[in-house]
Amino acid sequence: MHIPSFVQGMLVAAALGGAAAYAARQSPARQSPPQQGTQPTYFVEHPDHIQPGLARAGRFASLVNPFQGNAQRVAEGSKLFIAYNCMDCHGADGSGAMGPSLQDSRWHFGGTAGDIYQSIYEGRPDGMPAWGGRIADDQIWRLVAYVQTLSKGHDVATENFTGKTIARSGH
């Protein structure tokens, strides 16, 4: 597999920076819960959310993104979004294609950092692959940071997400 150079760079960074993210994932009990209210999320109930012995949001819910609000990591996440072929399902800038839109602030599986981390780490039904163990944890967090910047607000009309139409292609 040929890996573009900027991804190789991030893989090295991942090796160096992975420990903190690993610790964050291993000790959810000691982490602060996600800041509720600062970013409203709209959660659609779904039977796939039911997990034995766990609260609705699952065991990843209390994770905190070490890169929350870090513009450089968000920019790196936007490159990983293309390099790992996320764009080819979710559309350019997460505008929706074969996979769901990431711009509409409506979350099938939850929109907190921990929820999105879990969606990427474990995968989801109907096509979302599991990336956990295949890419470094801190790359997942870069993607989470990027994906969380895409939302346009749940009460914004579709015409006004960006104020223009989106160039899409079929297959």
Partner 1 sequence: MVWGWISYDPALNLIYHGTSNPGPWNGNQRPGDNKWSAAIIARDPDTGEMVWAFQPTPHDMWDYDAVNENILVDLPMSGGTRKALVHFDRNGFAYTIDRATGEVLLAQPFVPMNWSSGVDLKTGRPNVNVDKATAQGKNVKDICPSLEGGKNQQPAAFSPKTGLFYVPTNNLCMDFEGREVMYIAGTPYIGGNAPEKGGPGGYKGEFIAWDAVHGKKIWGIKEPFPVWSGALATAGNVVFYGTLDGWFKAVDATNGTVLYQFKVGSGIVGAPMTYTGPDGKQYVAVYAGIGGDMGLLIAGDVAANLPFDVRERGTTLPDLARYTSWGGMLFVFSL
**Least distance in Å: CB of 124 to partner 1?**
11
With CB under 8 A as the contact rule, the residue among 62, 78, 95, 148 that binds partner 1 is 95
Distance CA 99, CA 80 (A): 17
In the complex with partner 1, the residue whose CB is nearer, 38 or 165, is 165
Strand partners, 106: 42
Residue with tokens 């993210």: 21
With CB under 8 A as the contact rule, the residue among 101, 112, 119, 148 that binds partner 1 is 101
Q: Does 158 bind partner 1 (CB under 8 A)?
A: yes
Six-digit token string for 149:
């910047």
Judged by CB under 8 A, the chain residues 118 through 157 that form the site for partner 1 are: 129
Burial class (CB in 10 A: 0-12, 13-18, 19+), 56: exposed
Distance CA 157, CA 48 (A): 28
* Chain residues that interact with partner 1, rule: CB under 8 A: 1-4, 44, 82-86, 88-89, 92, 95-98, 100-101, 103-104, 106-108, 129, 158-159, 161-162, 164-171
